[in-house]
């Protein structure tokens, strides 16, 4: 499957929260998915006043992910399609 047709892209951190995974996801038009509580990682994002990252990025609970990564990732398929579409529209404006 082509990256450009992928709805979500898991952006695991490297030694720091930043990696090229974020840029690759955004460039491909995929919604970035982070393993985080949604608070500490948001501090890392650039242009926070101009880009509503919290409305674009999907944050997966780290505890649930560590307990069962496959189940946690598969739960993305249960997201409300309207929520996914709103995130895609915002992402296209980045």
Mean pLDDT to the nearest integer, 3-12:
79
Alpha-carbon span 85 to 94, nearest angstrom: 15
Position 91 scores a pLDDT of 93
Are 32 and 56 spatial neighbours (Cβ–Cβ below 8 Å)? Answer: yes
Picking from 1-5, 34-38, 60-64, 77-81, which range would have the lowest pLDDT averaged per residue? 1-5
Give tens-digit pLDDT for 61-70: 989 999 999 9
Given a contact cutoff of 8 angstroms between Cβ atoms, the answer to whether 72 and 34 are in contact is no
Tell me the whole-structure pTM to 2 decimals: 0.84
pLDDT tens-digit series, residues 18-35: 678 888 888 889 999 998
């Amino acid at each position: 499957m082509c990256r450009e047709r992928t709805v979500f892209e898991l952006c695991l951190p490297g030694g720091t929260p930043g990696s090229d995974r974020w840029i690759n996801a955004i460039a491909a038009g995929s919604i970035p998915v982070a393993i985080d509580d949604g608070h500490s990682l948001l501090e890392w994002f650039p242009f926070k006043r101009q880009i509503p990252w919290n409305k674009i990025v999907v944050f997966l609970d780290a505890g649930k992910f560590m307990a069962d990564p496959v189940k946690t990732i598969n739960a993305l398929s249960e997201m409300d399609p309207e929520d996914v579409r709103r995130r895609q529209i915002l992402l296209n404006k980045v």
